[in-house]
Structure 1
């Protein structure tokens, strides 16, 4: 990494902690991060943009007798660092003490640091990334031509980046994280009978050596776009709904939001009273594993420096735990779960994985895209715009759009019929499709 103020990053962080102690901080924590990346986008066979970024930041948090002050800077030179320290100390002096504030107990801090294989030397020049983007775009054009269709690629984008961060505190904890990533996306537009449809596809990995051929991303984007042509509405009804993996992840996301510490202590969660209660069918399990090699959310320690652990968030359908930071756990009178900063790698494990959920559903709505923000995680009420395909007799009949699907999240979780084996591995949540027994579908 680049030198910082004529010293190593680790020496710099230790120096900041020493300054904070001399300034009168009872406790202190420091987060230093730096990252670099390149993003290229192409359109109509030509380069549209090339962006290079190099970022650094410092976040300083101090505690003075449980009064907290925090300040940050994106300009990491000596003057800016000194000013940031002064601001954090001044804020702490003006803040009321909070009995839940403060660092994690020393016994909870991470002591085991596994090699999580989150960093790779993804060396690619801007010209090579441009070629990847152009290849992805051409893949979409070629696929459409093979189908006798015309398609317009609105944008083909490739991004490459890496990052490094240090979390250290006055308890003597010092932890480093290093990660890399590469992603690509293609957005396509097609037209039929003066109606335009827009769809996309993307992929991401940490190791560029495992990245799929760029032309395949374009091909899938074109396929998804052409499949949308001729979309129509259906009459309002109640029917089973099958969520494709990307949409199923959003259902999981609503649950994660509801079991987060901040939602719980603010009493703004529809699951606040459901710890150790049956939330899903007995065959459903959700496993959290921070130690998956190359995982998108692999961590040895959370944002408080607390040791992460493997555990079942959902065991035999029962909600087995919350997502708690040190602060939220103290507010709730509980123990931190090592989830400051959110959940780690999540894997849906079930005994009812189905390879043909469309046939299992027989009749209903297959959702491939969701729109809008009509989800209330305080009450659990769910209502979102949706598009996808209508299914009859276990076969896709035609694309549909401009629909609204509605239900209650607790009811939806309990009426989960099966999950698919079409697992989406592009994020920290690994799940296949979800088949919900019945939802309200509003159309014509």
Structure 2
């Protein structure tokens, strides 16, 4: 049973003296991270925190003035970043097309593919609970302060209290290492909080099986066991993405320092907006179906190299690559685990080409321009996104029945063979 992990984001308020202390600490921490990153890059990527601590701890303490715990945290911050990059490289190998055989080849990458060390450009600092940060309450005023350790000593700051703040202190949540960051001259403290889930998903108790087809024209198309289909339009999202792309292109063409700063601001704004969209979509699904629901999605790990994607124009390819399909899956996963539901991934093979009524698989049955699927065997017609959701839902039903890896295969007659492991 997976744990529930959330991030509590606190908007903190400081006077000029406290801001000066925090700015100095986060800048020294950033420089220390870049020092560690350069060492890792130059020495064939040693990733053991113990090894790096033995080699770099004293230098970090003396050259950057970090305290003992902060020096250790800086090493862990850098190794965590490299671990993340290594995972991304492993999950997204380098793919190229042989011009002579017209076949695609795959090369799995490692950190040696990096051309330069990871750069930490944004002032930040990771602070350990009860060592570098804690919450203290003034009994006279009943005010809770955030106590932060800086290189100039500890400071106590106020913060905006989120609505769910008290819920995290009921004894069921554990606090992780917090991160202090700055955004638009405002300071924030992000704390990961973890709770063990008491509700476990049980196949035998499933009430709903929901197939989810993801795209851009419709961000989601869902189909359930009651033959109910829901469409979540992506028209407004595409318009806003076009606006971001136009502004980005104008700034990139200028190439000035102020334009580059503006590009960073826009990137952060777009990422926050995309996260909000994915949060709303995932919350809508969980609120609609509740507990004991199996949500079924296609495994889109290699969506950028899908045959269908390569056949699209450059604008459509950029939109598909930039949309955060994986983030939607992450948000839905942790939200469903809280209520005793589950998300699984299934093979995307033939889900958009298979007739959900007779099982005929024929690529030409799907008309991308009209978004209509018409079976040349039985005559069944439906929206192509709906057909995808219906086939995905069927694979989920087969998973419930005991098939751990259901997927469609095609026979010589163009009919779907019964999905097998």
TM-score scaled by length of structure 1: 0.22
TM-score scaled by length of structure 2: 0.23
As a proportion of its length, which structure holds more helix?
2
